[in-house]
Structure 1
Amino acid sequence: MSDEVDVEAPSEKRELREHDERHCRCYKSKGSLPPLTPVDDIEKPSLQKSTYYSRVTNKYSTQRIVKEGQKPIKKGFRTLRDECLKANKLYEDPEFPPNDYSISFQGVTRRHYEWKRPHEFSKDPHMFIEGATRFDIQQGELGDCWLLAAVSNLTQNPRLFHVVVPRDQGFTHMYAGIFHFKFWQYGRWEEVVIDDMLPTYHNQLVFMHSKTDNEFWCALLEKAYAKLYGGYEALRGGNINESMVDLTGGVVEMVDLRNPPSNLFSVMKKAYRRAALMGCAIEPDHPQVQSESILSNGLIVRHAYSITRVTEVDISSAAPKLQGKAELVRLHNPWGNETEWTGAWSDKSPEWATISLDEKKRLGLTFDDDGEFWMSVQDFASNFTTLEICDVTPEVFEYDNDSDSDSSSDEDDEECQRKQQENVQRRWQRLMFEGAWVSRHTAGGCRNFINTFASNPQYTVKLEDPDEDDDDDLCTMVVSLMQKNVRQLKRYGADYQPIGYTIYKLPPEIEPGVKLDTEFFKYNASYAKVPFFLNCREVTTRFRFPAGYYVIVTSTFEPEMTGEFLLRIFTEAKRLKSSAK
């Protein structure tokens, strides 16, 4: 990956060379200089939808979310609850009224829904019945399995779960028909306050609900998430990486299982031990395949699954002729029913006869029609196409004031997992920048459009210290670029654009903080970049770089595609300095 081509310039270039020598080491005079060679570095988009992306016009991009400083001061949950208790009335949310427009953008629904509070159609309602587990969750009529799969994972981490679902609420003590939840939104945690009026049909909840009739944390959590994005319809369709980030503030890395790493099981086991959230899905080869079609092996295409355990089992104890260990993955289908994998290591398959009773007890093995099943890691990689791993960053726990040392009772290597969570504060350093692609100003498109590429936002990062746990003198850097407020504008026709970034190693002759110009990009190849420009909310890639200065150029695939973004940079190095241009 060469950064430059040092060649002698022809006479017609010399005037330009002298003019621009501050910005590019190609323009430094070092005796006789060979001719410059333009860099041919073409970017390609990769679209996650079967149709091409929707162009978000200025009409939509100008309807930007009002900045925090301009928002009217809102009353918090406790203030509103106290006012309701004092007035002896139940809270009614003026921002998310109980009508069809909260369900459908056009106010048109498939049937007539009645909005009711839990005590109006359920005896003795509770927030939780014996705590929150992944088996509580039942998907309703809304196509938001991408949310349910992430919530299923979240229940396995009680401390993190109660950041999102605070403990100070319920249907008994200080009940006033008001509840609140917290979601991570573009760099900060946002409280969402709702009333407990829920859409029903024939006294049954129609969207996400609990398997237990009088437990309501699932339905209320989904309602708060729907309010966050402007209505239930805004939750139809999505990627599990969106909900995992919203529930944790973490950063998601995608593993392409069509070309999996040789150490896939090790990657998954380490992620599991450090309490990362994991999800997966099957994207069919043919776009004509209908979403949520059930395959002959029991798996569902274009459907989000959560990964709830990664472990090895000893198969020699009960089958002496067999040797070694089986590498297994446990998955959960948020439908929570009998639609499960039917191949090797599925419920009641003959493979379970090869392990001992002690191993079965350690796994907490059950064969219920609950949507949970086991697979070998080989079958997992052969059948699924995408694995997404969400690492929780340390700032999430700054908002959890409740001490909670509980841990899931069925976790593998429980002590190791506990230590991993304690060490999370030392794993990452984070930088965060908010920016925008503005028409005719900073919306230059990818480097295919070389004449406008330099107008894109540029961010200079200095990596100073190599990682301590290796001896290759390289720094780990994870770069995540996220589009902002697109799902909130879904009712206006907005859609995700193909986005990405390109990284350049800054030559020592160029002063850090000086914006790179078109001539630099013409004659210098990128040091690294995203594999593809993706039309999804967030694009994340992990890099291993030598110490030095790097310039990150964020862009959409084409010029004049406008929108706001959040750039996050994570590193395991001790120190990280930066500047934005």
Structure 2
Amino acid sequence: MACVKMIHSLYEDGCEGSPSSPIRFKGQDYEQLKESLLSKGRKFEDKTFPANLDSLGKLENLSPKQLKEVEWLRPHDLNPDSSFIEDGTSRFDFKQGNVGNCWFLSSIGAMTLHKELVAAVVPRDQSFQDNYAGIFHFRFWRFGKWVDVVIDDFLPTRNKEPVSVSSRSQKEFWAPLLEKAYAKVCGSYGDMIAGNPPEAFKDFGGGVHMNYKLYEDTSDLWDVMDRAIQSKTMMGCGAFTGDKGKDICKRFGLVDGHVFAVTGVKRLEIDGNSINLVRIWNPWGEKEWTGDWSDKSATWKAVGEEDRNECLNKRNDGEFWMSMKDFCTYFEEMDICCESPNFICGDEGEWNCSLKEGRWEEGASAGGCDSQSEEFWTNPQFRLTVKGGEEEETDRERQTEEESEGTKNVLLSLLQRPDEEHRSKLKYHYIGFTIFKVPDKAPRGRLPQSLFLEEWPLKVSEFKKSRELIEFHTLEPGEYLIIPSTYDPHKTGGFIITIYSKAETDIE
């Protein structure tokens, strides 16, 4: 099982932003609000996210006329027998509605495979029966801190049918309310349209995210997925867009440009040969793969009865199996988010995790990526000390040069934190890292401009225009200077830098 030890983080348990003491989103205190409502016999109406068109936002699947027909109703108005959770949480509890947020709903489906993750995001002390006051709350990991988001339970409907995600049983409402809480964080339901699973994965608990392009070399990907599925891991995949995506959709029943959850892997033995299968779920709750290993495929006849009964489910629930080969052929990319990097390398050892917050400010601390420029030294600086004992030194001496180069012991993550409140208006910079080896006798504190004019960087990362940049590195014991920066100078924005390390480290 993966193991991560948090050190030097933004918070310790009990401090503001920790799991036990989350930050109150919009300053709203769930317990105090609920107690006040119960004492007055009232139901909550959230003035910070009111039941109106502004909170609904622009929905591409609804015309202006249809938007005006939207009526906000509480769950009891839709079903007098409403419940928050029945028999646990499952990806089969809900299906996508008229909001194009398959990336978010597929991520919820992946999260439900791990009850610990669900418990962190969806507090269970909520009900439509006991002490009901029309108020609910959910928790998200937002840029290194846990945030508690309070909502009322008014849901957007047309003709008493949910506009957005709906309950398959028509009585269980944890998923529609969770979606509303995330819409509030994003600015509106419309602000949730279009995205990628890693964004929601991170907001469901942080962790390490890796992206895999399935059209590239995937020879070791099955092993990575097999290791990942055994840990607290969320996986998602994206279908091709354009003409290729439409052709695949027409031939095999998939949805072009759509995001799915990866919910399982299985190795089967057939006539002495093994075949690797991948299980995938469509958040629409329907529209499944029709090729080999689909629900009605004849390929299942070659499988033993025990494996067939375990895997095969002929319901139209959006979930299906396909071979690893077809998965890498008919899907474009896959994302994995896990508590620790162990799923990548197969090492079950402990990782240290250091998390720090920083900011680039135009004219003050946004020096760009050119280490020879006069402004570069103004960028935020993080000094990392990688420690190593005698045992580690001996192990390194035994390694060949090739083995040593392949031993990645430090993972760096740079996560942008834009200032814009509405998700659809976010603009990300090109970001990356520059790493220097700190010279002997270097002064403490910030290193001066002269160092960067005299020393060449040890490593320079790729610069990407993305929400998060992640890179693995091999760093020998010693002291390093890590400088996160935007590609161009004079860019303003916040960031979170996270360092996972196999060796003992100090960061300042």
TM range (shorter): 0.7 to 0.9
Secondary structure of the structure 1 residue equivalent to 2:379: coil
1:223 is matched with 180
Alignment-derived partner of residue 44 in structure 2: 91
Match of 1:328 in 2: 277
Equivalent-residue separation in structure 1 for 2:289 and 2:453 (angstroms) = 50
Aligned twin of 1:389: 336
Counterpart AA for 1:558: D
Residue identity (%): 34
SS at match of 1:169: coil
Gap runs ≥5 in structure 1: 1-67, 317-322, 395-416
Say whether residues 1:546 and 2:503 are aligned partners: no
Query: Per-residue CA shift, 1:178-197, capped at 9, x if unaligned?
Result: 11100011111110111101
CA RMSD of aligned residues (A): 3.1
2:319 corresponds to: 372
1:341 aligns with 2:302: no
Classify 1:448/1:508 alpha carbon distance in 2 versus 1 (closer, same or farther; 3 Å).
closer
Distance 1:290 1:384, change over 3 A: closer
Amino acid at match of 2:339: V
Query: Residues 118-151 of structure 1: CA distance to partner in whole angstroms, max 9, x if unpaired?
Result: 1112130111232211112211111111111110
Equivalent residue letter for 1:378: K
The answer to whether the 8 A contact 2:236-2:261 is kept is yes
- Change in Cα spacing, 1:488 to 1:129, as seen in structure 2 (3 Å) is same
304, 308, 319: which one pairs with 1:356?
304
Work out whether residues 138 and 211 of structure 1, in 8 Å CA contact, stay in contact via their aligned partners in 2: yes
Q: Label 1:373 to 1:216 Cα distance change in 2 as closer, same or farther (>3 A).
A: same
Aligned CA distance change for structure 1 residues 292 and 121 (closer, same or farther; 3 Å): farther
1:236 to 193, 217, 223: 193
Segments ≥4 residues shifted beyond 6 Å: 70-73, 105-109, 288-293
Please tell me whether residue 481 in structure 1 is matched to residue 414 in structure 2.
Answer: yes
TM-score (norm 2): 0.84
Aligned 8 A contact 1:234 1:488 in 2: no
The answer to whether the aligner puts 1:151 opposite 2:108 as a matched pair is: yes
* CA displacement 1:450-493 (0-9 Å, x = unmatched): 4433332221211214898x8657562111111114562446x4
Contact in 2 for aligned 1:117/1:196 (Cα 8 Å): yes
> CA distance change for structure 1 residues 475 and 263 in 2, over 3 Å: closer, same or farther?
closer
Question: Contact 1:192–1:224 (CA<8 Å) still a contact in 2?
Answer: yes
Contact preservation (8 Å) 2:240, 2:330 = no
CA 271–122 in structure 1, closer or farther in 2 if over 3 Å, else same: same
What corresponds to 1:302 in structure 2? 257
Q: In the TM superposition, what is the alpha-carbon distance from 1:507 to its structure 2 partner? A: 3.8
Look up the SS of the partner of 1:222 in the other structure.
helix
Indicate if the aligned counterparts of 1:333 and 1:372 stay in contact, CA closer than 8 A: yes
**1:428 alignment partner, SS class:** strand
Counterpart secondary structure, 2:278: strand
What is the match of residue 460 of structure 1?
Answer: 383
- Find out whether 1:577 has 2:506 as its counterpart: yes
Larger Rg: 1
Structure 2: distance between partners of 1:248 and 1:235: 19
Match of 1:258 in 2: 215
Count, aligned residues? 469
Q: Deviation per CA, 1:432-463, whole angstroms, max 9, x where unpaired? A: 11111111122222238844333322212112
More contact order relative to length (CA 8 Å, sep ≥ 6)? 1
Alignment of 1:446 with 2:446, yes or no, is no
CA change 1:173–1:374 in 2 (3 A) is same
Give the Å deviation of 1:78.
2.0
Deviation digits for residues 3-62 of structure 1 (CA, Å, limit 9, x no counterpart)? xxxxxxxxxxxxxxxxxxxxxxxxxxxxxxxxxxxxxxxxxxxxxxxxxxxxxxxxxxxx
What does residue 33 of structure 2 align with?
A: 80
Asked if 1:111 is matched to 2:67, the reply is yes
Task: Give yes or no for contact 1:254–1:540 (8 Å, CA) kept in 2.
Answer: no
Change (3 A) 1:180 1:557: same
Question: CA, structure 1 residues 142+173, in 2 after alignment: closer, same or farther (shift >3 Å)?
Answer: same
Q: 1:211, CA displacement in angstroms?
A: 1.2
Secondary structure class of the residue paired with 2:252 = coil
Gap change, CA 1:543 and 1:210, over 3 Å in 2: farther
Match status 1:315 vs 2:248: no
CA distance in 2, matches of 1:541, 1:393: 14
Residue 378 of structure 2 aligns to a residue in which SS? coil
Q: 1:108 to 1:227 in 2, by over 3 A?
A: farther
Counterparts in 2 of 1:278-289, with a 5 A limit?
278-284=235-241
User: Contact (CA 8 Å) 2:207, 2:338: kept in 1 or not?
Assistant: yes
Structure 1 residue 237: Cα displacement? 1.2
Q: Identify unmatched segments of 5+ residues in structure 2.
A: 1-20
Q: Which amino acid aligns with 1:561?
A: K
SS at match of 2:249: coil
Q: Which AA in structure 1 matches 2:329? A: S
The one-letter code of the counterpart of 2:114 is N
- The structural deviation recorded for 1:349 is 1.7
Distance 1:256 1:76, change over 3 A: same
Partner of 2:163: 206
User: CA offset at residue 219 of structure 1?
Assistant: 0.5
Matched-pair contact (CA < 8 Å) for 2:295–2:314: yes
* 2:459 equivalent to 1:527: yes
Compared CA separation, residues 109 and 460, structure 1 to 2 (3 A): farther
**How many Å separate the matches in 1 of 2:413 and 2:448?**
21
Write the distance in 2 (CA, Å) between the matches of 1:295 and 1:558. Answer: 43
Structure 1 range deviating more: 307-316 or 101-110: 101-110
More strand by share: 2
Measured in 1, the distance between the counterparts of 2:205 and 2:482 equals 25
1:249 aligns to 2:181 (yes or no): no
